[in-house]
Amino acid sequence: QVQLVESGGGLVQAWGSLRVSCAASGRTFSDYAAGWFRQAPGKEREFVAAIRWGGTYYTDSVKGRFTISRDNAKNAVYLQMNSLKPEDTAVYYCAAGRGAGSVRSAGFYDYWGQGTQVTVSS
């Protein structure tokens, strides 16, 4: 089992920055790929970013603005978000998974956090 707890969400103005964090406990977190997903009101959960074996992956809408990183010594993964836009407003979820498949797919992940709200005002 891996437990994930997100933090760092909040309200920020457009073009501002925010860093959300995910603290992991349980099994060896470094064995898992980590991902961030988001869900806006009335929309499906969508892939944002992932990190696996040192490689990083982003959805097109956040490339150049968001950066995913991890600190295995701290069992943590981060999402640095710059140049935020109102359309980035959503609940952001951290996820962990391992095995075959695409890290862009929610089905790849075995464990999920409860989410943290990010609101970007215009």
Measured in whole angstroms, the distance separating CA 57 from the mean position of its chain's CA atoms is 11
DSSP state of 43: S
| Banded pLDDT at 39 (limits 50, 70, 90) | very high
Q: Are strands 10-13 and 116-121 parallel, antiparallel or unpaired?
A: parallel
Tokens of 77: 């993964």
The percentage of residues in the chain with a pLDDT greater than 90, rounded to a whole number, is: 90
- Looking at residue 56, its pLDDT comes to 97
Distances (CA, A) of 80 to 62, 69, 101: 11, 8, 25
Q: Which of 36-40, 64-68, 97-101, 107-111 has the lowest mean pLDDT?
A: 97-101
